[in-house]
Protein backbone atom coordinates (compact mmCIF):
# COMPACT_ATOMS: atom_id res chain seq x y z
CA UNK A 1 0.00 0.00 0.00
CA UNK A 2 1.10 3.39 -0.76
CA UNK A 3 0.87 6.39 1.37
CA UNK A 4 -1.77 7.91 -0.88
CA UNK A 5 -4.13 4.97 -0.43
CA UNK A 6 -4.09 4.99 3.31
CA UNK A 7 -5.90 8.24 3.83
CA UNK A 8 -8.73 7.08 1.51
CA UNK A 9 -9.16 3.93 3.60
CA UNK A 10 -9.19 5.97 6.78
CA UNK A 11 -11.80 8.22 5.21
CA UNK A 12 -13.98 5.20 4.35
CA UNK A 13 -13.66 3.87 7.87
CA UNK A 14 -14.61 7.25 9.35
CA UNK A 15 -17.59 7.50 6.96
CA UNK A 16 -18.68 3.97 7.83
CA UNK A 17 -18.46 4.75 11.52
CA UNK A 18 -20.42 8.03 11.25
CA UNK A 19 -23.14 6.70 8.90
CA UNK A 20 -24.93 4.81 11.72
CA UNK A 21 -24.70 7.89 13.92
CA UNK A 22 -26.18 10.09 11.16
CA UNK A 23 -28.95 7.55 10.50
CA UNK A 24 -29.70 7.37 14.24
CA UNK A 25 -29.75 11.16 14.41
CA UNK A 26 -32.14 11.33 11.42
CA UNK A 27 -34.46 8.74 13.02
CA UNK A 28 -34.42 10.69 16.31
CA UNK A 29 -35.17 13.96 14.51
CA UNK A 30 -38.03 12.30 12.60
CA UNK A 31 -39.40 10.83 15.85
CA UNK A 32 -39.17 14.25 17.55
CA UNK A 33 -41.01 15.89 14.64
CA UNK A 34 -43.68 13.18 14.80
CA UNK A 35 -44.09 13.64 18.57
CA UNK A 36 -44.29 17.44 18.15
CA UNK A 37 -47.06 16.97 15.56
CA UNK A 38 -48.91 14.64 17.92
CA UNK A 39 -48.50 17.14 20.76
CA UNK A 40 -49.84 19.99 18.61
CA UNK A 41 -52.82 17.83 17.58
CA UNK A 42 -53.48 16.88 21.21
CA UNK A 43 -53.34 20.54 22.26
CA UNK A 44 -55.81 21.46 19.51
CA UNK A 45 -58.17 18.64 20.53
CA UNK A 46 -57.93 19.79 24.15
CA UNK A 47 -58.84 23.35 23.16
CA UNK A 48 -61.85 22.07 21.17
CA UNK A 49 -62.91 19.90 24.10
CA UNK A 50 -62.71 22.86 26.51
CA UNK A 51 -64.73 25.00 24.10
CA UNK A 52 -67.36 22.25 23.79
CA UNK A 53 -67.56 21.92 27.56
CA UNK A 54 -68.06 25.68 27.91
CA UNK A 55 -70.78 25.65 25.25
CA UNK A 56 -72.57 22.74 26.94
CA UNK A 57 -72.31 24.51 30.31
CA UNK A 58 -73.71 27.76 28.86
CA UNK A 59 -76.56 25.92 27.13
CA UNK A 60 -77.39 24.04 30.34
CA UNK A 61 -77.38 27.29 32.36
CA UNK A 62 -79.65 28.93 29.77
CA UNK A 63 -82.00 25.93 29.80
CA UNK A 64 -82.19 26.03 33.59
CA UNK A 65 -82.84 29.79 33.57
CA UNK A 66 -85.54 29.36 30.90
CA UNK A 67 -87.10 26.50 32.84
CA UNK A 68 -87.27 28.68 35.95
CA UNK A 69 -88.60 31.70 34.09
CA UNK A 70 -91.17 29.94 31.94
CA UNK A 71 -92.11 26.87 33.99
CA UNK A 72 -95.41 28.42 34.96
CA UNK A 73 -96.46 29.13 31.36
CA UNK A 74 -98.99 26.30 31.08
CA UNK A 75 -100.45 27.11 34.50
CA UNK A 76 -100.56 30.82 33.68
CA UNK A 77 -102.46 30.12 30.43
CA UNK A 78 -105.03 28.17 32.41
CA UNK A 79 -105.39 30.94 35.00
CA UNK A 80 -105.84 33.53 32.24
CA UNK A 81 -109.26 32.05 31.49
CA UNK A 82 -110.18 32.63 35.13
CA UNK A 83 -109.03 36.26 34.81
CA UNK A 84 -111.08 36.62 31.61
CA UNK A 85 -114.21 35.26 33.29
CA UNK A 86 -113.71 37.54 36.30
CA UNK A 87 -113.31 40.53 34.00
CA UNK A 88 -116.45 39.57 32.06
CA UNK A 89 -118.38 39.16 35.33
CA UNK A 90 -117.32 42.61 36.50
CA UNK A 91 -118.17 44.10 33.12
CA UNK A 92 -121.64 42.51 33.20
CA UNK A 93 -122.65 44.21 36.46
CA UNK A 94 -124.85 47.20 35.59
CA UNK A 95 -123.86 50.58 37.05
CA UNK A 96 -127.05 50.86 39.11
CA UNK A 97 -126.29 47.56 40.88
CA UNK A 98 -122.72 48.68 41.63
CA UNK A 99 -124.14 51.48 43.79
CA UNK A 100 -126.83 49.30 45.41
CA UNK A 101 -125.93 48.48 49.03
CA UNK A 102 -127.07 44.86 48.57
CA UNK A 103 -124.50 44.30 45.78
CA UNK A 104 -121.76 46.66 46.88
CA UNK A 105 -119.94 44.02 48.96
CA UNK A 106 -119.94 41.54 46.07
CA UNK A 107 -118.73 44.12 43.56
CA UNK A 108 -115.99 45.30 45.94
CA UNK A 109 -114.89 41.69 46.52
CA UNK A 110 -114.77 40.94 42.80
CA UNK A 111 -112.79 44.14 42.15
CA UNK A 112 -110.33 43.23 44.92
CA UNK A 113 -109.99 39.72 43.50
CA UNK A 114 -109.24 41.15 40.06
CA UNK A 115 -106.60 43.52 41.46
CA UNK A 116 -104.97 40.72 43.46
CA UNK A 117 -104.90 38.46 40.41
CA UNK A 118 -103.16 41.19 38.38
CA UNK A 119 -100.73 41.73 41.26
CA UNK A 120 -99.86 38.01 41.32
CA UNK A 121 -99.40 38.07 37.55
CA UNK A 122 -97.07 41.05 37.89
CA UNK A 123 -94.94 39.34 40.55
CA UNK A 124 -94.42 36.41 38.17
CA UNK A 125 -93.59 38.50 35.12
CA UNK A 126 -96.98 38.07 33.44
CA UNK A 127 -98.06 41.33 31.84
CA UNK A 128 -101.04 42.38 29.76
CA UNK A 129 -100.36 43.38 26.15
CA UNK A 130 -101.53 46.89 25.32
CA UNK A 131 -103.38 46.56 22.02
CA UNK A 132 -105.87 49.42 21.62
CA UNK A 133 -104.57 52.16 19.33
CA UNK A 134 -101.36 50.25 18.58
CA UNK A 135 -100.34 49.16 15.07
CA UNK A 136 -101.05 45.47 14.45
CA UNK A 137 -98.07 43.38 15.56
CA UNK A 138 -98.42 39.78 14.36
CA UNK A 139 -96.03 38.72 17.12
CA UNK A 140 -98.42 39.96 19.80
CA UNK A 141 -101.84 40.38 18.18
CA UNK A 142 -104.12 38.05 16.28
CA UNK A 143 -106.37 39.96 13.89
CA UNK A 144 -109.87 38.50 13.98
CA UNK A 145 -111.60 41.00 11.72
CA UNK A 146 -111.26 44.29 9.89
CA UNK A 147 -113.39 47.17 11.06
CA UNK A 148 -114.17 50.25 8.93
CA UNK A 149 -112.66 53.13 10.87
CA UNK A 150 -111.19 56.61 10.60
CA UNK A 151 -108.07 55.30 12.33
CA UNK A 152 -105.01 54.50 10.24
CA UNK A 153 -105.34 51.16 8.46
CA UNK A 154 -103.68 48.40 10.44
CA UNK A 155 -104.35 50.04 13.80
CA UNK A 156 -106.02 47.98 16.53
CA UNK A 157 -109.46 49.51 17.18
CA UNK A 158 -111.15 46.69 19.07
CA UNK A 159 -109.92 44.13 21.59
CA UNK A 160 -111.98 40.98 21.95
CA UNK A 161 -109.63 39.15 24.28
CA UNK A 162 -106.62 40.49 26.16
CA UNK A 163 -103.18 39.26 25.22
CA UNK A 164 -100.51 38.39 27.76
CA UNK A 165 -96.72 38.07 27.91
CA UNK A 166 -94.63 36.08 30.37
CA UNK A 167 -91.37 37.97 30.71
CA UNK A 168 -90.28 38.41 27.08
CA UNK A 169 -92.33 35.57 25.58
CA UNK A 170 -95.86 35.59 24.25
CA UNK A 171 -98.21 33.72 26.54
CA UNK A 172 -101.38 34.45 24.59
CA UNK A 173 -101.93 36.84 21.66
CA UNK A 174 -104.51 39.58 21.93
CA UNK A 175 -107.56 38.88 19.73
CA UNK A 176 -108.21 42.17 17.98
CA UNK A 177 -110.17 44.02 15.32
CA UNK A 178 -108.04 46.08 12.96
CA UNK A 179 -108.96 49.33 11.24
CA UNK A 180 -109.49 49.43 7.50
CA UNK A 181 -110.39 52.31 5.22
CA UNK A 182 -114.13 52.98 5.21
CA UNK A 183 -115.89 51.81 2.05
pLDDT digits (tens, 9 = 90+) for 73-105: 888 888 999 999 999 988 898 888 888 888 888
Whole-angstrom distance, CA of residue 85 vs CA of residue 97: 19
Whole-angstrom distance, CA of residue 105 vs CA of residue 3: 135
* Neighbour order of strands in the sheet with 163-166: 126-129, 163-166, 169-172
Residue numbers in the chain where pLDDT is lower than 50: 1
- CA torsion through residues 103, 105, 106, 107, sign: positive
Q: What was the pLDDT predicted at 13?
A: 57
Q: What was the pLDDT predicted at 20?
A: 75
Q: What was the pLDDT predicted at 141?
A: 96
Q: How far is CA 41 from the centre of its chain?
A: 34
Q: What was the pLDDT predicted at 15?
A: 54
Amino acid sequence: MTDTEKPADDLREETAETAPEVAEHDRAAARIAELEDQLAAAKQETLYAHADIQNVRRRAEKDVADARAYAASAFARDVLSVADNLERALGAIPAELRDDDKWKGLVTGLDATGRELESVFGRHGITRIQAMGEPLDPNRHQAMMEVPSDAAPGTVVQEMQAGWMIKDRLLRPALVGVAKKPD
